[in-house]
Amino acid sequence: MSLLCPIDFRYGRPAMKRIFAEEARLQRLLDVEAALAQAQAKAGLIPAAAAKEIAAKATTKVVSVERVLEIEKETRHDIMAVVTALSEKCGGEGARYVHFGATSNDISDTATALQLRDAIRVLREDLRELRGVLAALAKRHRSTVMLGRTHGQAAVPMTFGLKIAVFASEVDRHLDRLAETEPRVVVGKMSGAVGTGAAMGERSGEVERGVMESLHIGLEEAATQIVGRDRYAEFVAVLANIAASLEKFCTEVRNLQRTEIGEAAEAFETERQVGSPPTRMCRCGMSGISRTPRRKGSSFRTPRCSSTTSSRRRRTSSAAFACTRTGCGRTSRRRRDR
C-alpha cells in the first residue's frame, strides 16, 4: 500500500485497505485470467482441460506476490510477470493457453473494475450507516433549539435537528450518485490490443461477454486498448464530492465544539485515543481537493494528507477510497447544557 500513496496506512480502514493490497490486486488479476480461459474453452478456442488447469492454479495460494515481483524485476512488465508466474504453475496444455489472445489492459482494467466494485460495496454500506445515524440524531433533536448563524454571525433561532437533517439529506444524495455512477465505472474489456478482438477470431465477442458475465461486471461498449478513462474521472469526482461533504460535517462539529461555543462535541475514546484537538476532526484526505489551505500557523491546520503538502503527490483511486471511508466512520455526539 505504501507504494501507492503515503497516506494509506494513516487513513482508511482495514476493509478498504484489503481491497487494494498487493495480494488482493494479484488475486483479481488471476480471477480475470481464469475467467478468460473458461470463456475461451466454452467458445471452443482452447481445450477444456487447459481452462480447468488455469482456473485451478489462478489463486494467490499457488501464485505468490513474491514470485510475481521477482519476475517483474526482470521483465519490467507487471501483467507479463503475472502471466509467467501463472504459466509456471500450470502443467500440460494449461501453460500454453494462459492469457491467450488477450492484451495487458484487458486483464488490468478488468481487474480494476473488480476492485472498484468491491470498494463501492464497502463505501455504500458506510454511507447507509452514516445516513441512519444522522437521521436518528436529527429526529432526536428536532426540537432542540440552537442559535442560527449566517456568515458566522448570530441570526434567528433554529434547531439542531434541522442542521443534522441537512447532513442526512446530503448523504442520501451521495448514495444516489454512487448508484448512478457504478454501472458506468464497473466495466471491463477483453477485446485485445486495439479493440478488434482479432487475436481470438470470430468468437471474440462471445468470449468478451462470457468473461464479464462470469465476473458480474459491465462491458465496455467500444474500446481500443483501454477502458475509457472518463469513467474513472467521473468516479473520482463523486468521491471528492462525498469527501467534501464529510469535511463540511466535521468542520461544523469542530467549530461548534470550540470552548467558547460548546454546542456539540466529537466522540472521543478517552482511555486509548490520542491526538491534538485541531486535527482530530479532519480525517478525510480527499477533502484537501475541495478546501482552501489555511495559513501556516493557523489554529485549525489543513490535514497532513492535503494535496497542498506536495504538488507532485499522486492521487489514486485506492487513496480516494481509503480517505473517504475514514471520513464516513466519524459521527458527532450532541452535547448541550440544559
Please give the mean pLDDT across all residues of the chain: 84
Q: Kindly report, residue by residue over 222-234, the tens digit of the pLDDT.
A: 999 999 999 999 9
- Confidence label for 332 from pLDDT (cuts 50, 70 and 90): very low
Query: Which residues are registered as beta bridge partners of 159?
Result: 145
Would you call 338 exposed, middle or buried from its count of C-beta atoms within 10 A (0-12, 13-18, 19+)? exposed
Would you call 177 exposed, middle or buried from its count of C-beta atoms within 10 A (0-12, 13-18, 19+)? middle
> Quick check: is 174 catalytic?
no
Active-site annotation holder among 2, 143, 216, 276? 276
Q: Kindly report, residue by residue over 128-141, the tens digit of the pLDDT.
A: 999 999 999 999 99
Active-site annotation holder among 2, 151, 299, 311? 151
In the predicted model, is pLDDT for residue 113 greater than 60? yes
pLDDT number for residue 320: 60
Q: Kindly report, residue by residue over 138-154, the tens digit of the pLDDT.
A: 999 999 999 999 998 99
> Quick check: is 306 catalytic?
no
Distance CA 100, CA 98 (A): 5
Distance CA 11, CA 122 (A): 15
Q: Is 211 helix (H, G, I), strand (E, B) or coil?
A: helix
In the predicted model, is pLDDT for residue 277 greater than 70? no
